[in-house]
Amino acid sequence: MTGSRTEQDAALKLIDEQELVELAVAMGNIKAPSGYEQPMADFVLQWLKANGFENSYQQLVSEGRSNTIGILRGTGAGKSLIFNSHMDSEQGMPMRLDEEPPPGPTASVDQDKKRIFGLAVQNDRGPMAAFMIATKAIKNSGIRLAGDILMTMVVGEIGMAPVDEFRGARFIGKGYGSRHAVTHGINGDFALIAETTDFGVTWIEAGAAYFKVTVEGKSFYTPRIPERGELKDNPNALIKMIAIIEAIEKWAVEYEIKYTIEYPVGKMVPKVSIGAIRAGAPYKPSTTPKTCSIYVDVRVPPPLGFNQVERELRDIVRSVGLGGTVECFMARKGYEGNNVEPLVKAIRNANLLVRPAPPPPIISSAWQAPMCWTAARATTCPRAATAMMSSRARPATTRCAAARATIA
């Protein structure tokens, strides 16, 4: 926020730490996993309306899934700023095919330790609460900004990719809500993204490509399995896949070293992970699986093309000599923000007002919703609104600092 220090102080005094904590915990306890975000969208819209953001509204993205948009209008003489956070959470999502959806989120506060606990608070409703409280404080201070603030609370950032029998409206990949927003009227000069970077600042994000690698075998009843010889002659597709997995793991190390990028505020280290495997029937191990598939996540630095990554992976699978096919079933391009200097400077100055140390460097290969805003030509500077203190715990005071830094 630009303006005099007196104006900034007027807004900062309106930050109520207890209100911020209560809002973060309340939103953290709403069960709204990816694909089922509407209860969260309705809560946020109701809060915005109750706090004087009368021109707030929802964008229907698909059945049962709506973005919620809140706008604080300026005079029209300055640049606009997008606050972006996502409403979906891993909390409540089954992580395996055979798993029932877990119970809803449980966010709580430890008053003695000044910490908020809860996965949904960490990702991403604590940062969302910081944006909401900060924007409310600016509005209530009476300060008239030159540009607009657009709060975009979106669906489908976490997302589930379409593959095999998993298709349809709930399997549309990552960044779905943000892509919908930028193609349906939400545009800004800058975008500030709520993600966990331990208060670090970055404007470059990796892309992500998902691959399905499949190898064929033959179905045999255990007593009738032929005498074992060379691996290529083994009828068990799962056993063949072991060699392919080993080759991909070796390539992953080389890939990470080869494509690591150093940039002014940190390092991008593109990771490769095999996240799932499908073969055979758990209830019938007496039959060798005819096919085996693994599902691979490859993070892709912005200068690198998806075709190059796919060629390298195909070459690795081919080099094993056991056949095998490679299919890309999701690809999200990475970007580097342009003309970010004004926002980066403002963030760094604000950071020093609430934290004694400068923002730490970032080492990451994350793909996040900022890519949608960069692709839409909004200058972006993704940055966490909260610090990751542990895997599930956050200081309540950090939320207040984040809101204050947002204002400053």
Give the residue numbers marked as catalytic.
88, 157
- Beta pairing partners, 151: 70, 83
Q: Using CA atoms, how far apart are residues 295 and 378, in angstroms rounded to an integer?
A: 33
What count of residues does the chain have? 408
Q: Which of 202, 201, 308 is nearest to 259 (CA)?
A: 308
User: Are the CB atoms for 368 and 248 separated by under 8 Å?
Assistant: no
Q: Which of 218, 224, 221, 222 is nearest to 236 (CA)?
A: 218
Q: Using CA atoms, how far apart are residues 332 and 346, in angstroms rounded to an integer?
A: 29
Token pair for 130: 């910081």
**Please, how many CA atoms are within 13 Å of residue 267, restricted to the half-sphere of its CB?**
7
The amino acid present at 322, given as its one-letter code, is L
Q: Using CA atoms, how far apart are residues 80 and 149, in angstroms rounded to an integer?
A: 6
In degrees and rounded to multiples of 5, residue 242 shows phi and psi of: -55, -45
Q: Using CA atoms, how far apart are residues 202 and 382, in angstroms rounded to an integer?
A: 6
What residues contact 318, with CB distance under 8 A and at least 6 apart?
A: 324
